[in-house]
Structure 1
Amino acid sequence: MRRYSAMPEQGALTIVRRSSSRSKAESCPTPTDEQLDSLDLDTEHLPAVDTPDACDKAALRLRYLLRQLNRGEISAETLQKNLQYAAKVLEAVYIDETKPAVARQQSAPTLVFRRLADEDDELSEVQPDAVPPEVREWLASTFTRQLATAKRKSDEKPKFRSVAHAIRAGIFVDRIYRRVTSTALMQFPQDVIRVLKTLDEWSFDVFALHEASGGAPVKYLGYELLNRYGMIHKFKVPPTTLENFLNRIEEGYCKFHNPYHNNLHAADVAQTVHYMLCQTGLMNWLSDLEIFATLVAAVVHDYEHTGTTNNFHVMSGSDTALLYNDRAVLENHHISAAFRLMRDEECNLLQNLSREEFREFRTLVIDMVLATDMSFHFQQLKNMRSLLSLAEPTVDKSKAASLILHCCDISHPAKRWDLHHRWTMSLLDEFFLQGDKERDLGLPFSPLCDRNNTLVAESQIGFIEFIVEPSMGVCADMLECILGPLHSSSKNSTSSAEPINEESTGTKDRNENSSKFKIRKPWVACLSDNKKIWKEQAAKDAEARAKQEEENNSVPPTTEE
């Protein structure tokens, strides 16, 4: 329920009463405006949640709450109390299918859900046979109140129809909470909403989001992602605290006015991580806390970046290099500064985590952000390749998430050309500014930092061929390795799969590859297109240099008269 890539529209709720005093089903009438206007939201004198009258009360209150939310005329405390009551009513709904149909009609009133989800709801297509017995038991115990447990035989399976309806009840309440979150917490400008409609695309235009948000892409994108994955509700993140945290993170990214390592880059990496989580199905392999840590790590991974490299800090003997003993200087600072920020009560989005959850969260974020240090790049890829070459590889979740974040951090050459070219120019501007500082300090130029001797096209071709392409290849192999079993275990897997073209495989491997799981790889085409454009540019640049050199050599020496 927590893992929708986009929130579907709320399904209609129809509650039917059955009792000996009524010959046919009677649905709850839609309340009139007069009824809603005169409604008292006090929760102290409500009927018991397992009575028929409770359903009428709950339905009426839900409609009233939604109307008041749209008007912005309801307090958070009143909203919370009424939603809790409605949730308890939904949990109390139960169909006692252990009795014969005739007995059910003659027994005490029983509440029945007739329709609680849209026709396209994922649960609409679930077949009873697809649910293992242990899962049935868990669903029944989690989402239903088993009023007839004592009468049920110990070896009898819970009726799937009851369980499915109960799950839909949970989805309904969850959607209400999500609507409350998106309505009551933070309002999004219409231009931002328009841009975020393409959030699930590989080549998402973060520059358009920057413009639409008035220079605050981290604030809106970070909030949207944490809300979309249900992290705000799951980990009880206070809305004001989250907004304060994102605002401060945004400020930290803008502290040094970097051309590249700024809030735009942070938003771009966070969105790319979202693509990997959502569009490959990776989110189904991770726990809620692991998803939470991955999203936060993406948002803070370059927090307070100085616009200079680790090598510059070490060579110049900066205070940060001294603090972290020349090792992963910037990465250590990003993590430390982010967690120091979260110690501020107004920015502590982790305040409701348990001690164990906090330790796991902190360890995951540290591992992921440290893995973005490029000095670990080749060893990281080598270790993952070695692991995947085993007969039965077991991938550690922390290492998998770390590789994902690292690949997303260097992914701009794998995006659409117009986006990649813009990122490249920004990064070169930042490199050249560092080169100017190195010249002033009498330090040797770092690679690509000498503005007078850097071959842009050639450098990008090398970066794509030796860094980005191998990284994305290993990342894809890892994802297919860990998600393959999830895909094969369920025909209704939410992962994005593509069949293998058997014509491209040998006869020997055909049987094995025919069932192999594959993810979509939109970066492959982008890398190919971008490399082709850079090679054309490199040829033009080489021709221009040769022509210039020829002209310089053809100029006759001047003689004195």
Structure 2
Amino acid sequence: VPAATHGIWAATACRLSALAGKPRPEVHRGGSYPKLVSFLRAVEDGYHDVPYHNSCHAADVLCRLSAILLAERMCHDGTPQSRGLLLATLVAAVIHDYDHPGTDNAFQVNEGTKAARSFNHRMVLENNSLFQCLEMLRSPRMDLWSEFGINPTHATQLVIELVLATDMTRHFDIVGEFESKVVASLETQRIDNACDFLHSLDEPKRRLTLSVALKIADVGHACAPSHAHERWSKCLEREFAQQGELDLKSGREPAILKHPQKPSVTDPSNQAAFFNIIAIPMLTSWTKAFPSSGNCLLHQAKTNLRH
């Protein structure tokens, strides 16, 4: 997506132009939305120059998530509820890897970092991203909830749930719950449009659905054109290797995929495992409920698996 190459600010401005009901240039200038501008610039500054979990990744996830929601016309009926859901979901995409150091949660725990101690070894990086960014949103200068007329309590709760869902240790539980609670509900009701279906769900199922949408976007390079998927995979492999080197220096055996001298992300067998165990089953579940976006994503993922 071209907007992803211009960072979080440009990508978000493009996506929020429709939400704001303003022409894109006005949103880009930020004249009507100074709090949005301040928040996005602060978030972008908080992403680090690491190979994979950088501001370009955040912008890429944002663009892909926006495309999924748009393809399904999900949260796009213009009601206050939909506006709140849409803004909170896009904010979650923007902040989900804020301040990511290029090392994972296990590394934070093993090293006894301040973040690991602060969040009691639980979803360390996700909680750290949330805490810092939600503190920004409490500032009058960056309170974009008030700028868009959104209920801050409901929006904050949704942002928290969505960002925490990106912790891959919870992946199978979340996808399994989506299959059993959301997809299974299709047996008793017919979807005329995704927006109505989303609003027909109770609050936990609605949040679960948007969590899966964000998770798909987060590993969405699996659904990108093959050359883009390969590039992102190499970036992730480089970041993993850098962590592996730090582990070795600390006298620890690096985790799977992170040893700098062993097969990693781009290894064909590891690629096949990622698609067959993580990406394709999640996309298959999503497609059952939301075929407008799901069929396209699933087709490209299967193409990349064969590539």
TM-score with structure 2 setting the length: 0.85
Asked whether 1:330 is paired with 2:125, we answer yes
Q: Is the 8 A contact 2:284 2:294 kept in 1?
A: no
What's the counterpart of residue 73 of structure 1?
A: none
**C-alpha RMSD over aligned residues:** 2.3
Residue 271 (structure 1) aligned with residue 63 (structure 2): yes
Q: Give the CA deviation at 1:346.
A: 2.5
Instruction: Determine if the alignment matches structure 1 residue 521 to structure 2 residue 295.
Output: yes
Q: Which of 435, 454, 458 is 2:269 aligned to? A: 458
**Contact 1:238–1:349 (CA under 8 A) maintained in structure 2:** no
1:382-531 aligned at under 5 Å gives the runs 382-387=176-181, 388-390=183-185, 391-392=187-188, 395=201, 396-455=205-264, 456-479=267-290, 496=292, 521-531=295-305
Structure 2 residue aligned with 1:351: 146
Matched, 1:261 2:71: no
* Contact 1:231–1:292 (8 Å) recurs in 2: no
The equivalent of 1:377 in structure 2 is 171
User: CA offsets, 1:209-232, max 9 Å, x none?
Assistant: 52xx4xxx1111111111222277
Show the counterpart of 2:196: none
Quote the Cα distance in structure 2 between the aligned partners of 1:317 and 1:227: 42
Higher alpha-carbon deviation: 328-337 or 391-400:
391-400
Residue in 2 that maps onto 1:301: 96
Q: Which has the larger radius of gyration?
A: 1
Letter in 1 for 2:101: T
Aligned length in residues: 281
Give me the identity figure in percent: 27
Q: Give the aligned partner of residue 339 of structure 1.
A: 134
Whether 1:281 and 2:77 are equivalent positions in the alignment is no
Change (3 A) 1:253 1:448: same
2:12 corresponds to which residue?
222
Contact 2:280–2:302 (CA under 8 A) maintained in structure 1? no
- In the TM superposition, 1:42-441 aligns within 5 A as 204-205=1-2, 209-210=4-5, 213=6, 217-230=7-20, 238-254=32-48, 257-284=49-76, 287-352=82-147, 357-387=151-181, 388-390=183-185, 391-392=187-188, 395=201, 396-441=205-250
Counterpart residue identity of residue 253, structure 1: Y
Q: Which residue of 1 aligns with 2:26?
A: none
Q: 1:231 & 1:477 partners in 2: Cα distance?
A: 32
Distance 1:307 1:264 in 2: 14
Distance 1:384 1:240 in 2: 37
In structure 1, runs of 5+ residues without a counterpart are 1-203, 481-495, 497-518, 534-561
Amino acid at match of 1:225: R
Q: Secondary structure at the match of 1:521?
A: helix
Matches of 1:351 and 1:309, distance apart in 2: 34
Contact 1:237 1:349 in 2 (8 A): no
Residue-by-residue CA offset, 1:290-343 (whole Å, 9 max, x unaligned) = 111111111111111111111111122211111111111111111111111223
Change (3 A) 1:232 1:319: farther
> Within 1, Cα distance between the matches of 2:270 and 2:279?
12
Q: Which runs of 4+ in 1 moved over 3 A?
A: 351-354
Higher relative contact order (CA 8 A, sep 6+): 2
